[in-house]
């Protein structure tokens, strides 16, 4: 399975790698965000959560890789 984003296929494993990098970089100050992401990841087969994952991916790409 892959996440569809702006006409390019993004492997779920790659999305999860991005999440892990961001979680590590943010440290313990964002535990709630970490929990939300992992809950979201575990429930990614549900449509609403899949949309949420794509939003998180876009957010992290815009805010994390801009530095």
Question: Is the model's pLDDT at 61 over the cut of 50?
Answer: yes
Alpha carbons 56 and 50: distance in angstroms, whole number: 10
The owner of tokens 């959560």 is 49
pTM of the model: 0.29
Where does residue 29 rank: exposed (0-12), middle (13-18), buried (19+ CB within 10 A)? exposed
Write the CA distances from 7 to 24, 35, 43, 48, integer angstroms. Answer: 29, 29, 23, 20
Range of the domain at 41: 2-64
The tally of domains found in the chain comes to 1
Question: Is the model's pLDDT at 21 over the cut of 60?
Answer: yes
Higher pLDDT, 11 or 66: 11
Alpha carbons 38 and 56: distance in angstroms, whole number: 12
Higher pLDDT, 67 or 9: 9
The overall average pLDDT reported for the chain is 61
Give residue 34's pLDDT band: very low, low, confident or very high (50, 70, 90): low
């Amino acid at each position: 399975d892959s996440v569809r984003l702006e006409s390019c296929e993004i492997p779920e494993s790659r999305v999860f790698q991005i999440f892990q990098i961001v979680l590590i970089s943010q440290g313990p100050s964002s535990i709630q965000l970490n929990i939300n992401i992992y809950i979201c990841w575990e429930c990614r087969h549900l449509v609403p959560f899949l949309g949420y994952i794509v939003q998180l991916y876009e957010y992290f790409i815009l805010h994390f890789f801009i530095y």
